[in-house]
A and B are shown apart, each in its own frame.
Chain A
Amino acid sequence: GQQVMQIPQYQHVQEGEDFTTYCNSSTTLSNIQWYKQRPGGHPVFLIQLVKSGEVKKQKRLTFQFGEAKKNSSLHITATQTTDVGTYFCVSLQGAQKLVFGQGTRLTINP
């Protein structure tokens, strides 16, 4: 099955700094979803990207889908302590199987 690599595995920032996590695939993705999981919590759906070159924004979060639909990124501007958690990209393998990337754990120094 297709492999999606997510980097970095960990990121520690000072509050107010920006943060970016990347997902890269060797094959074309039909779509990509992003989820956030707070410590001790469950994954929460953030966004789904479908179109080549798509860019979507949610307040301080910017999501991009590459032109070749082989990579995606999530960028957070001016992080806040509420952004702490693990961010997962999720790709579709076959018709129904969603596969989670390894995740990027974000910690923030207030």
Chain B
Amino acid sequence: DTEVTQTPKHLVMGMTNKKSLKCEQHMGHRAMYWYKQKAKKPPELMFVYSYEKLSINESVPSRFSPECPNSSLLNLHLHALQPEDSALYLCASSQVAAGPQHFGDGTRLSIL
């Protein structure tokens, strides 16, 4: 059982839709992350939140908008995505930034 919960597990959306990915952890971790992973590639870091503040944005396009409402929750708001944004989106958390990470199962996103 994963201790980081991501919803939904699968998402299909059109290029004009707005949707959100959600991530939750109850381990008391103070750092949370969003990664994008394409097939047969390593996860690529998108955002890092440390103590609920955005500390790293890896030059991610503005159509991806992260939000950290509290220390247990992390959202990724999606708007006007492109077909090349289709990928597995992984959320992770760690006790402190750059510590060993616990990953969720991911959301498999398909853009039509």
Contacts and interface: CB of A to CB of B under 8 A. Distances in A.
A binds B: yes
Interface of A: 33, 35, 41-45, 48, 88, 92, 95-103, 105
A97 B42 CA distance: 15
A60 to B, nearest CB: 21
Contacts of B27: none
B98 A98 contact: yes
B1 to A, nearest CB: 12
Contacts of B50: 96
A95 B48 CA distance: 12
Nearest to B92: A43
Contact of A45 (B42, B48, B100): B100
Interface in B14-58: 31, 40-45, 48, 50, 55-56, 58
B48 A96 contact: yes
Contacts of A100: 42-44
Nearest to B88: A42
Closest 8 interchain pairs by CB? A100-B42, A96-B97, A42-B103, A45-B100, A96-B98, A43-B103, A103-B42, A92-B98
Majority-rule SS of A interface residues: strand
Nearest to B31: A96
A97 B56 contact: yes
A42 B90 contact: yes
A103 to B, nearest CB: 5
Interface residues of B, number: 24
B101 interface: yes
A48 B92 CA distance: 16
Nearest to A105: B40
Contact of B100 (A48, A88, A99): A48
B90 to A, nearest CB: 6
Interface string B50-68: 1000011010000000000
A74 B59 CA distance: 32
Contacts of A48: 100
A101 B44 CA distance: 10
